[in-house]
Amino acid sequence: MALISVENVSKVFSIYPLRRHKLQALLGIDASRHCINKWALKEISFSIEAGESIAIVGRNGSGKSTLLKLICQTLSPSEGLITVNGRIGALLELGIGFHEELSGRENVYISGQLLGMSRHEIDQHIDSIIGFSELAEYIDIQLKKYSSGMQMRLAFSVATAVRPEILIVDEALSVGDAYFQHKCFDKIKAFQALGTSLLFVSHDPLAVKTLCDRAILLDKGKMLADDSPAAILDYYNALISNSENNKICIDEGVRSGTGEAKLLAVDVYKDNEKIQAVLSGSKIQIHVTYQVVQKIPDLTIGFLIKDRVGNEVFGSNTFLMQKKPPLKQGEKFQIIFELADFRLAAGSYNLSIALHSSYHHLIKNYDWWDHAATITVISDEVFAGVVRLDAAYLDGSPIELSLQSCIESENNE
């Protein structure tokens, strides 16, 4: 039995231009001719099994937060059915369930009860909640005096006080400081190891790839794809390109762009030979063949190396290198990027290549091609991580302790 089942769910919001029209509707008076129906979600279907971790990805306004609120039952669907089998711990939009005039301690009890905890359960966990949030000094101060980061600390601590079967996290984690974000991610991973399912909304690709084994892409209230995080993030990257004529194709890796300039071929070379595998530390070249189809004001060519799960390893482009590739309309060109010391760890890597304007593809995307080429790296050295750095062991030497430090050491004993 699925922990969460979403079947053909749609959500419409009725918008009234004037308050009196909304009041008429609330009083049962027909005000439909003044009503504008806005569909936030349309025919969404998916399920989450026990232990699964799923990311919801999409542009602002795509319906991500609405979907989470429906699952948490803070909203009701206009159409379709949502079934939840398990206890939910939810961290939705910052401030939901909190009252700014009450103290942090009082808000713990209110928020905890909204999440389904009894007052007795909250009594049992109040010390651990305050301890995890690290807000003991401020816990009896009014919430309105908290910063957004302090509110997030308290909200996350309450939501995770008792291990839920399903943990739902919206983008609220993004307001926390780096230290507490790491602390939150460690707790989420600990819950995952114990079997908790995760439903996670974030614009952070690294967090999505690290925490989730599946991702769903929403856009304009519709579900576009359900795939691996790496594949969905490639699709999302193409989707956010800010271009009226942008077209997206997923036949051979995700490819998008206006077509004003077009990639023709991408190949990896070593010693003037095309290769598919290389020894770590070798000199390689990336050959990019392209054509300028229409007249364009400028052109940047970039590459991005990703590992097998989609983590970005390294990338650069001609704008950052302060180089100007040829862009004469109608002609075909080839440029070469050389990596003199390709010291990556053993494994498979893929190349994304882009033709765009300025320094990134969000301004004007001509052709972005994910998985344009693949290369396997072979290494004769064993090390941890993605890239091999020069590391050496220097002989240790004894450290002479001062008399004062010896006395302090004895006192501590």
Two structure tokens written together for 42? 């349309």
Total domains in the chain come to 2
Tell me, yes or no, whether 409 lies in a domain.
no
Same domain, 339 and 300: yes
Tell me, yes or no, whether 403 lies in a domain.
no
Give the residue from 234, 253, 272 where a domain finishes.
234
Give the residue from 191, 212, 234 where a domain finishes.
234
Same domain, 225 and 258: no
Same domain, 15 and 127: yes
Give the residue from 234, 257, 283 where a domain finishes.
234
Q: Helix 104-114 to helix 119-133 angle, to the nearest 10 degrees?
A: 130
373 backbone φψ class: left, alpha, beta (φ>0; ψ -120 to 50): beta
Same domain, 230 and 253: no
* Dist CA 357 CA 2 (whole Å): 46
Contacting residues for 109 by C-beta, under 8 A, at least 6 apart: 119, 122
Contacting residues for 410 by C-beta, under 8 A, at least 6 apart: none
Q: How far apart are the first and last CA of the chain?
A: 57
Domain harbouring 103, CATH code: 3.40.50.300
Q: What is the DSSP string of 82-138?
A: EEE-S-EEEE-STTTT--TTSBHHHHHHHHHHHTT--HHHHHHHHHHHHHHHT-TTT
Tell me, yes or no, whether 412 lies in a domain.
no
Residue 191 has φ and ψ, to the nearest 5°, of -65, -45
pLDDT tens over the chain, length 413 residues: 788 999 999 999 888 777 777 777 777 777 777 778 889 999 999 999 988 999 999 888 899 989 999 998 888 999 999 999 988 888 876 656 688 899 999 999 998 888 888 899 999 999 999 999 999 999 999 999 998 889 888 988 998 888 889 998 887 676 667 788 888 888 888 998 898 999 988 877 878 888 898 999 999 999 999 998 888 888 888 777 655 566 666 555 678 888 999 999 999 999 999 999 899 999 999 999 999 999 999 999 999 999 887 888 999 999 999 999 999 999 999 999 999 999 999 888 999 999 999 887 667 899 999 889 999 998 878 888 888 888 888 877 777 655 555 556 555 55
Q: What range does the domain containing 292 cover? A: 244-378
Same domain, 219 and 315: no
Domain harbouring 358, CATH code: 2.70.50.60
